Amino acid sequence: MSQIVEQAGQKCWRTNEGDTLDQIAIAVYGTSAGTLEILAAANSDLAQPVLASGVMLKLPDIPKPQSRRVRQVFDATKLGVSK
C-alpha cells in the first residue's frame, strides 16, 4: 500500500506498482492543479510516468490555496428569475 513516510526528516511517499504523479498529487494535496508541477520538480530524477513499487518520492510542503469567497452581486428574484 502506498503511504507517506518520513525519511531523514523529509516527508516521502512510498509507491505501489503503477502509481503516477498525478494520482499521488491528488492523494496527498487534494488536487493535481498546481501541485503536480511542484511534485515533479521535487522528484526530477524520475524517468517513468508510471512508477514501480517501492520508489521513494519527496513530498514538498505546498501551501493550501486560499479558499475563494463567492459574493452574490444581484438578487435573482428582482430579475424575474425563479429558483
| 54 located within any domain | yes
How many structural domains compose the chain?
1
For residue 21, what are the domain limits? 3-62
Specify if 69 maps to a domain: no
Higher pLDDT, 82 or 42: 42
Which DSSP symbol is given to 69?
P
Cα gap 22→24, rounded to integer Å: 5
Tens digits of residue pLDDT in 21-76: 999 999 999 999 999 999 999 999 998 889 999 999 999 998 766 666 777 776 76
Task: Give a yes or no: residue 57 inside a domain.
Answer: yes
User: Look-up: residue for cell 518520513?
Assistant: 6
Q: Quick one: pLDDT at residue 73?
A: 72
Q: Is residue 78 part of a domain?
A: no
pTM, to two decimals: 0.71
CA distance 21 to 28: 10
> Could you tell me the sign of the dihedral formed by the alpha carbons of 25, 27, 28, 29, in that order?
positive
